[in-house]
């Protein structure tokens, strides 16, 4: 991670300064109300701090996928009310992102006022990272703050282009995310354990390859463990398994071996003949005893306990992907148990634990440990690309 500036590098008094602030306000909406305010809450501290310090806060965000055209249903005017409720302040909606309407609106705003500009993706220049488009936006700002880590894997005008045109700073949410990710994988305290679970190897090949070079313990669970087991000659019955990727799985195991990374695969598993809640065919067995008509739907209790013991020897944990089909009980048991172990070790101060991924966030919430691990990233695609070891253009531009 390069060194980036934060809001601490700005003068304390920002009275009248125009801050162009990229945020993630892509709220899930239903009947005019947000069903989840996590994203708005995440960027509230940055918005409120800049406002308190006297800046005119101009928020830039995308919303949905309008593909370079105006869509009335994707206007950010839809979410102004939700944002106002979260920050408990009035927000002026500005129906453009550049040009005279923005300039006049900014003129009307007083120090500390907050304006929300229209959906940046209404303009094709956003996703094309068009230099003239970025310049036109930058004309209405004195400095740029990026608080949208979740969009940092995209080199768009408001996530990357602006950083080259104005003095640039990481917002508080971005700063927190980058510090957590750095502690987990950029510059972690060894030994480091990575848990990679989820459905398929094919969606996480790059993640597995990167981690096998960088961590001391690679714990593989979920459906993808079946592909690795199959590569080791285990008959996984009817389990979700990518048989065409067994060579790839072998190559990852060999590379890990060479890098001194221990791969942990389950030796007991929870199986059933049908995928349903609490099926009558449910049983726990050794991986070598899975019947032809059975599916592996979770890792077993012995493996889970052994993995807990691995975590006890580690200083750092990075986690993406549930260990089993956690949405359907009792196939949530291993994920919940290991999550609780990780949370307890974190609370004891012996483990730094960072997790991310859409279903992982849900699984940790289900286990009730969201607040007891060090950091949970809700950044989705950006988190995965970071797990793959890729440089994120939005982050790189802040550090340039």
The span from the CA of 51 to the CA of 336, in Å, is 40
Output phi, psi for 154, to 5 deg.
Answer: -105, 135
Q: Which two tokens stand for residue 121?
A: 């993706």
The site partner of 66 among Mg ion, ligand ADP, none (C-beta below 5 to 8 Å per kind) is none
Nearest-CA neighbor of 388 among 187, 154, 210? 210
Which of 64, 186, 237, 358 is catalytic? The answer is 358
Contacts of 336 (CB under 8 A, 6+ apart): 326, 363, 366, 367
Which of 89, 200, 213, 283 is catalytic? The answer is 200
Least Å distance, CB 325 to ligand ADP, is 4
Let me know if 154 is a catalytic residue.
no
Nearest-CA neighbor of 350 among 305, 307, 310, 315? 315
Q: Which is nearer to ligand ADP, 93 or 326 (CB)?
A: 326
| Residue with token string 């839809």 | 78
| Residue with token string 């989705």 | 380
Let me know if 308 is a catalytic residue.
no
Using the rule CB under 5 A, is 224 a contact of Mg ion?
no
Q: Which two tokens stand for residue 62?
A: 């995308």
Q: Which is nearer to ligand ADP, 112 or 322 (CB)?
A: 322
Least Å distance, CB 328 to ligand ADP, is 7
Q: How far is CA 12 from the centre of its chain?
A: 31
Q: Which is nearer to ligand ADP, 324 or 394 (CB)?
A: 324
Q: Which is nearer to Mg ion, 112 or 321 (CB)?
A: 321
Using the rule CB under 5 A, is 118 a contact of Mg ion?
no
Residues facing residue 117 across a β-bridge: 94
Least Å distance, CB 358 to Mg ion, is 4
Which of 18, 22, 39, 121 is catalytic? The answer is 39
**Which alpha helices (DSSP H) does the chain contain, by range?**
38-52, 80-87, 100-108, 124-127, 131-138, 172-181, 205-214, 222-231, 246-259, 301-312, 333-348, 358-367, 381-387, 393-399
Least Å distance, CB 380 to Mg ion, is 8
Q: Which is nearer to Mg ion, 48 or 363 (CB)?
A: 363
Let me know if 200 is a catalytic residue.
yes
Q: Which two tokens stand for residue 369?
A: 């440990």
Q: Which is nearer to Mg ion, 127 or 359 (CB)?
A: 359
The span from the CA of 323 to the CA of 331, in Å, is 9
Q: Please, what is the angle between helix 222-231 and helix 246-259, to 10°?
A: 90
Region binding Mg ion by CB under 5 A among candidate stretches 8-16, 157-165, 323-331, 355-363: 355-363
Least Å distance, CB 383 to ligand ADP, is 8
The site partner of 63 among ligand ADP, Mg ion, none (C-beta below 5 to 8 Å per kind) is none
The site partner of 223 among ligand ADP, Mg ion, none (C-beta below 5 to 8 Å per kind) is ligand ADP
Using the rule CB under 5 A, is 380 a contact of Mg ion?
no
Let me know if 39 is a catalytic residue.
yes
How long a stretch of residues is the chain? Answer: 400
Least Å distance, CB 364 to ligand ADP, is 9
Does residue 328 contact residue 278 with C-beta atoms inside 8 Å? no
Please report, as ranges, the residues that interact with ligand ADP according to CB under 6 A: 197-199, 203, 222-223, 240, 296-297, 320-322, 324-327, 357-360
| Member of 64, 237, 308, 358 binding Mg ion (CB under 5 A) | 358
Q: What angle do CA 182, 51, 118 make, to 5 degrees?
A: 85
Region binding Mg ion by CB under 5 A among candidate stretches 21-29, 55-63, 271-279, 351-359: 351-359
Nearest-CA neighbor of 185 among 155, 205, 212? 212
Which of 64, 308, 380, 381 is catalytic? The answer is 381
Catalytic site positions: 39, 200, 358, 381
């Amino acid at each position: 991670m390069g060194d980036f500036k934060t809001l601490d590098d700005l003068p304390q008094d920002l009275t009248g300064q125009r801050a162009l602030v990229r945020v993630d306000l892509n709220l899930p909406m239903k009947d005019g109300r947000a069903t989840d305010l996590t994203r708005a809450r995440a960027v509230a501290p940055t918005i409120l701090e800049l406002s308190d310090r006297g800046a005119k806060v101009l928020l830039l965000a995308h919303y949905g996928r309008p593909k370079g055209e105006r869509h009335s249903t994707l206007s950010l005017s839809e979410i102004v009310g939700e944002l106002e409720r979260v920050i408990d302040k009035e927000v002026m909606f500005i129906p453009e992102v550049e040009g005279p309407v923005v300039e006049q609106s900014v003129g009307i705003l007083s120090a500390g006022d907050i304006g929300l500009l229209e959906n940046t993706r209404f303009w094709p220049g956003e996703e094309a990272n068009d230099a003239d488009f970025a310049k036109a936006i930058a004309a209405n700002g004195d400095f740029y703050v990026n608080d949208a880590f979740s969009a940092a894997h995209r080199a768009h005008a408001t996530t990357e282009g602006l950083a080259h045109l104005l003095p640039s700073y990481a917002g508080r949410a971005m700063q927190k995310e980058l510090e957590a990710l750095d502690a987990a994988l950029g510059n972690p305290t060894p030994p480091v354990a990575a848990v990679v679970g989820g459905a398929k190897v094919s969606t996480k090949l790059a993640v597995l390859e990167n981690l096998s070079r960088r961590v001391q313990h690679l714990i593989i669970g979920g459906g993808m463990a079946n592909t690795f087991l199959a590569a080791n000659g285990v008959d996984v019955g009817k389990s979700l398994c990518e048989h065409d990727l067994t060579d790839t799985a072998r190559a990852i195991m060999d590379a890990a071996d060479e890098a001194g990374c221990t791969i942990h695969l389950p030796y007991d598993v929870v199986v059933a003949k049908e995928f349903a809640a609490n099926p009558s065919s449910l049983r726990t067995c050794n991986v070598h005893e899975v019947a032809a008509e059975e599916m592996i739907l979770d890792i077993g209790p012995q493996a889970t306990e052994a993995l807990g013991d691995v975590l006890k020897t580690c200083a750092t944990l990075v986690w993406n992907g549930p260990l089993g089909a956690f949405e359907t009980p009792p196939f949530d048991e291993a994920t919940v148990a290991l999550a609780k172990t990780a949370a307890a070790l974190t609370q004891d101060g012996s483990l730094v634990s960072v997790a991310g991924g859409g279903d992982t966030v849900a699984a940790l919430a289900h286990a009730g440990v969201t607040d007891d691990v060090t950091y949970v990233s809700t950044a989705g695609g950006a988190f995965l690309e970071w797990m793959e070891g890729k440089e994120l253009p939005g982050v790189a531009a802040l550090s340039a």
